[in-house]
Homo-oligomer: A and B are copies of this chain.
Amino acid sequence: MTIRDLAEAAGVSVTTVSQILNGKGERFSSDTQARVLKLQEKLGYVPDYNARNLIMRSTQTIGVLVPNLANPFFSMFIKGIQLASQDNKFIPIIFDANQNQALQNMYLEELIKRAANGLIIASATLDANDIDRILTRNGIPYLLFDQNDAQIGDRVWVDDYKGGQIAANYLLAAGHRKLTLLVPDDITQNIRQRIKGFESVMTKYRLAFSEEMMIKTPMTKLGGYQAVDQLIAKQSTAVFCINDEMAIGVYRGLQERGLRVPDDISVMGYDDIDLANFVAPKLTTIHQPAFEMGQVATELLIERIQNPRLPHQDKQLPLELVVRDSVKSNP
Contacts and interface: CB of A to CB of B under 8 A. Distances in A.
Interface of A: 44, 46-51, 53-54, 59, 69-70, 72, 75-76, 78-79, 82, 86, 91, 93-96, 98, 103, 106, 110, 112-115, 137-138, 221, 225, 248-249, 251-252, 255, 274-275, 277-280
Contacts of A94: 94
A275 B93 CA distance: 27
* Count of this chain's copies in the oligomeric assembly: 2
A75 B82 contact: no
B280 A252 contact: yes
Given A95-B82, A280-B280, A54 B48 contact: yes
Given A48-B115, A50-B50, 17 more contacts: A44-B138, A49-B114, A50-B51, A50-B54, A51-B54, A69-B75, A70-B274, A79-B96, A86-B106, A91-B93, A221-B274, A221-B275, A221-B278, A248-B278, A251-B280, A252-B279, A280-B280
Contacts of A113: 46-47, 49
A290 to B, nearest CB: 10
30 contacts: A44-B137, A44-B138, A46-B113, A46-B138, A48-B54, A49-B59, A49-B113, A49-B114, A50-B53, A50-B59, A69-B69, A69-B75, A69-B79, A70-B72, A70-B75, A70-B79, A79-B98, A82-B95, A86-B103, A86-B106, A91-B114, A94-B94, A221-B274, A221-B278, A225-B278, A251-B280, A252-B277, A252-B278, A252-B279, A252-B280
